[in-house]
């Protein structure tokens, strides 16, 4: 009788946890932990948890915060659950069953207000402990800060969306940069990014991983359904982009050649306009000016100093020194996203809205950024290999952060 093939299981990166134990010899300042929202991608946080536990940092965390999936993980950590316990619960729960309630608004009984996922407003509130709003100190009670506030406009301003950040700033402006830095460095943030879900300062986070000498970084599984689907989508996207670029470059080169022929004509309005009319059919005029059907109107835009005025070559030369490089740079830097369903469209919109408060440069030094690669927000149907990959990515990002933090801040090992 042949032995039955063992079923794949989700595995925590215990080897990376062991590698994190060396950080127990250092004193880190972190007291607050804030986790970004990310749906199914949030599984990566469990790997980060493993490293923080083994590094001795988790026990010193006093306050936990998060949005969406980040709030769930933060809540589990706040009640004392370990990464191993969370993995056990995760394996026992059908993640796809949560799809029925994801992003569903709700309201309290007998109240008209509707509430929805916090990611719509602020997906990564890393600043939430920087000010007084969540402080438990006596001088920061709402009675003191709102009821007893003599400036009525200031008190009301705390509740206006456009002034929401003032809630999380020091009540009195801290002028000493060292004091501000000391306040900020008590908070450690966990966030997510990918090639198709870019974040501010992503290039810095990618470079940070080099400190690990790329050991085990981005070892994407090749045989899971999600990984295969991602590869197929990437092929479609890259093919579409290549075809679009080729078509655009061909069109641009053709127009450029004809425009410069017009410039080579005798430098007078009549001859240049005549040649422009011959070289450009009417249906191409709209490419230069939306809805244009008159050659003279477009000619004035491209070749005249003012409507009906003397000719100039300045506009054409400026066009190809500025607009063309801008378009090329945009195509190289910004990934095109292939949207194939209403759900994907909604998620892209949610991602766009959720990043309306990007991190600041000063937040980079207190943020662990995890590359979730091919996994998207609603991929709750992951296989164990996908979950294992995410947790390993979370652990690697955390190791890289701690290594860099020790080096940049020149932390010394405790003597005992």
What is the model's pTM? 0.82
Distance CA 248, CA 256 (A): 12
Q: Find the radius of gyration of the CA atoms of the chain.
A: 28
Neighbours of 171 (CB within 10 A): 15
Is residue 324's pLDDT more than 80? no
Regarding predicted confidence, which is higher, 198 or 15? 15
Q: Which pLDDT score is estimated for 327?
A: 78
Q: How far is CA 353 from CA 141, 342, 343, in A?
A: 31, 17, 15
Buried b (16+ CB within 10 A) or exposed e, 275-298: bbeebbeeeebeebeeeeeebeeb
Distance CA 286, CA 318 (A): 19
pLDDT-wise least confident of 138-147, 165-174, 195-204: 165-174
Q: Is 370 left (phi over 0), alpha (psi -120 to 50) or beta?
A: beta
Q: Which pLDDT score is estimated for 101?
A: 54
β strands within 31-166, DSSP E: 32-35, 63-66
Distance CA 260, CA 231 (A): 43
Q: Under 8 Å CB-to-CB from 396, ≥6 apart: which residues?
A: 13, 16, 47, 209, 212, 216, 217
pLDDT-wise least confident of 96-100, 343-347, 379-383: 96-100
Range with top average pLDDT, 177-186, 336-345, 362-371: 362-371
pLDDT-wise least confident of 32-46, 95-109, 117-131, 234-248: 95-109
Q: Which pLDDT score is estimated for 120?
A: 67
Is residue 166's pLDDT more than 70? yes
Is residue 82's pLDDT more than 90? yes
- Contact between residue 383 and residue 96 where contact means Cβ atoms under 8 Å apart: no
Is residue 41's pLDDT more than 70? yes
Condensed to tens digits (0 to 9), the pLDDT of residues 218-243 reads: 688 989 999 999 999 888 888 888 88
HSE-CB at 105 with a 13 A cutoff on CA atoms is 7
The domain spans of the chain are: 14-130+170-233+337-409, 236-333
Is residue 4's pLDDT more than 90? no
- Confidence tier at 1 by pLDDT (50, 70, 90): very low
> Chain-centre distance of CA 178, in angstroms?
28
Using the 8-state DSSP alphabet, how is residue 413 labeled? -
- Confidence tier at 278 by pLDDT (50, 70, 90): very high
Distance CA 193, CA 369 (A): 7
The rounded percent of the chain whose pLDDT value lies above 70 is: 86
Condensed to tens digits (0 to 9), the pLDDT of residues 334-360 reads: 766 667 777 777 777 766 666 667 889
Is residue 215's pLDDT more than 70? no
Q: Which pLDDT score is estimated for 248?
A: 84
Helix (H, G, I), strand (E, B) or coil at 189: strand
């Amino acid at each position: 009788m042949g032995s039955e093939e063992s079923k794949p299981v989700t595995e925590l990166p215990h080897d990376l946890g062991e590698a994190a134990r060396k950080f127990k010899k250092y004193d880190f300042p972190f007291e607050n932990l804030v986790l970004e929202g990310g749906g199914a991608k949030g599984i990566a946080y469990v790997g980060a948890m493993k490293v923080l536990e083994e590094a001795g940092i988790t026990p010193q965390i006093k306050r936990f915060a998060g949005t969406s999936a980040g709030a769930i993980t933060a809540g589990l950590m706040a009640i004392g659950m370990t990464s191993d316990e969370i993995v056990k619960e995760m394996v026992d729960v059908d993640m796809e069953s949560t799809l029925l309630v994801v992003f569903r608004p709700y309201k309290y009984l007998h109240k008209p207000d509707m509430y929805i996922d916090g990611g719509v407003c602020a997906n990564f509130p890393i600043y939430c402990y920087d000010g007084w709003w969540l402080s438990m100190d006596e001088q920061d009670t709402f009675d003191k800060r709102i009821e007893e506030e003599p400036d009525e406009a200031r008190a009301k301003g705390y509740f206006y969306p456009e002034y929401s950040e003032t809630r999380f700033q020091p009540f009195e402006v801290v002028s000493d940069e060292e004091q501000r830095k000391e306040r900020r460095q008590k908070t450690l943030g966990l966030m997510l990014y990918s090639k198709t879900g870019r974040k501010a300062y992503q290039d810095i986070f990618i470079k940070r991983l080099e400190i690990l000498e790329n050991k085990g970084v981005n070892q994407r599984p090749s045989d899971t359904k999600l990984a295969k689907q991602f590869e197929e989508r990437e092929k479609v996207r890259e093919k579409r982009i290549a075809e679009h670029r080729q078509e655009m470059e061909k069109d641009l080169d053709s127009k450029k050649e004809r425009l410069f022929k017009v410039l080579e004509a005798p430098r007078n309005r009549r001859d240049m306009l005549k040649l422009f009319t011959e070289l450009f059919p009417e249906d191409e005029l709209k490419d230069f000016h939306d809805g244009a059907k008159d050659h003279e109107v477009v000619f004035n835009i491209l070749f005249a100093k003012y409507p009906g005025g003397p000719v100039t070559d300045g506009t054409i030369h400026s066009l190809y020194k500025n607009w063309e490089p801008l378009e090329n740079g945009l195509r190289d830097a910004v990934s095109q996203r292939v949207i194939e369903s209403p759900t994907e469209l909604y998620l892209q919109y949610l991602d766009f809205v959720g990043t309306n408060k990007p991190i600041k440069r000063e937040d980079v030094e207190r943020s662990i950024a995890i590359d979730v690669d091919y996994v998207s927000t609603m991929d709750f149907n992951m296989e164990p290999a996908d979950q294992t990959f995410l947790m390993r990515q979370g652990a690697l990002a955390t190791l890289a952060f701690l290594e860099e933090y020790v080096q940049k801040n020149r932390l010394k090992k405790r003597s005992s």
